[in-house]
Amino acid sequence: MARCQGTVESLCQGLLDLDDDKFSAMCSAFGYLQEWPDLSAMCGANLGVPAVAAAAPSAGDGNDSSSCSGSGGGGFRKRKPDEYLDAKGGASDMSKRPRGKQLSGLSEIAAPGKGKQERPKAGTKKKAEAASTAAAAAAAGQKTDYIHVRARRGQATDSHSLAERVRRERISERMRYLQELVPGCNKVTGKAGMLDEIINYVQSLQKQVEFLSMKIAASNPVVSFNIVEDLFGQQLKQACSPAAALPAMALPAGQLEPSCLQMSPMQQVHPSAAASSTGFGLDMVVNNLYAPAAASCPVSAAPSVSVAAGPSTIEPCLNVIGTAAWDIGAHNLFSGFDAQFQSVESDCLLDNHKMEM
């Protein structure tokens, strides 16, 4: 058959050059009179116009059986598999590409038909993948609602496991994205470790936001100042500036800072922490003065500030101040604060804090 094909090939080549006389002579010589027209047509199509072959993949199938397949294949064999895959890809749902070689000839691709597509072949993966990528891209443009999955070597190919694999790939893609978002996640490997990191990070972010927003809400010291001034009027003006009261409150909150900084490496928290700590303190003052449950006020405020690692450091300071306000009474408030402030200062150990007393 090969010999015959070779002869036919040469004859096909020759046919294009021959004129009618020689054509008829050759026909008679070989006795293929009936087949020549078909052969010429097919050969002409195969050699000249690949598009024709592409347009009719079924014709290409028919070509396989003919003797011209070997000859014509040399010309359009390279193009045909791509177009064949295109046509087939558009038709099928889960397009798993045949793993056979591209240049293996039509018979290999066409003969198994669709069965080939569903059977992943351990062949030249790279070439087939290159073809399948191109084909998949073309097919994806046509049908976007189908997911094109590549069946890898040695993996099961039934629809369930494929869907499972798609799901797993999506999850791992999201995990990778999360890994980029969460700092320090690169060192940890494994799902559980990463999840743990992510949980911690989300919690710390939440606390950060809560802390910042609370500070902003509390950091309108002007308002609080007015209230305190109105309440105590003369006494505040007599004694040291209200600033004196503030540090007393601010100190414990000031302690909040370093622990906050340890927790969150955000630098802009630092100056803002200072600003709002004053307001914070004043709120505490107001709360303590008004509410009968003075002891509970600082405690209730402290948990919300439990961002820091040491809420315990805050509470005793505030408690001291709160009780001082209560025990000493409003008229002695400021002097009471003085005393308490000194004790607070010693508690909080702020050496460089100079107060005009």
Partner 1 sequence: MSSGRSSSRGNISEDEINELISKLQALLPSSRRRGSGQASTTKLLKETCSYIKSLHREVDDLSDRLSDLMSTMDHNSPGAEIIRSILRS
Nearest-approach distance from CB 200 to partner 1, in angstroms: 10
Inter-residue contact 322 to 295 (CB < 8 Å):
yes
Query: Taking the complex as a whole, how short is the minimal distance between the CB of residue 186 and partner 1, in angstroms?
Result: 16
Q: Which is nearer to partner 1, 43 or 218 (CB)?
A: 218
Output the DSSP codes for 50-99: HHHHHH-HHHHHHHHHSTTHHHHHHHHTTHHHHHHHHHHHHH-SS-PPP-
Q: How far is the CB of 46 from partner 1 (least distance, A)?
A: 49
Nearer to partner 1, 128 or 246 (CB): 246
Q: Which is nearer to partner 1, 28 or 220 (CB)?
A: 220
CB of 321 to partner 1, least distance (A): 16
Joined together, the tokens standing for residue 109 give 């691709």
Q: Which is nearer to partner 1, 129 or 229 (CB)?
A: 229
DSSP 183-207: TT-SS--SHHHHHHHHHHHHHHHHH
| Between 11 and 248, CB nearer to partner 1 | 248
List residues near partner 1 by CB under 8 A.
167, 170-171, 174-175, 177-178, 181-182, 190-193, 195-196, 198-199, 201-203, 205-206, 208-209, 212-213, 215-216, 219, 221-222, 225, 241-243, 246-247, 250, 254, 257, 266, 268-279, 350, 352-354
DSSP state of 103: G
- For residue 351, the number of C-alpha atoms closer than 13 Å in the C-beta half-sphere is 0
- CB of 72: closest distance to partner 1 in angstroms? 49
Our CB check for partner 1 shows the closer of 209 and 293 to be 209
Of 99, 113, 94, 116, nearest to 162 by C-alpha is 94
Q: Are 230 and 174 in contact (CB under 8 A)?
A: no
Smallest separation, CB 101 to partner 1 (Å)? 37
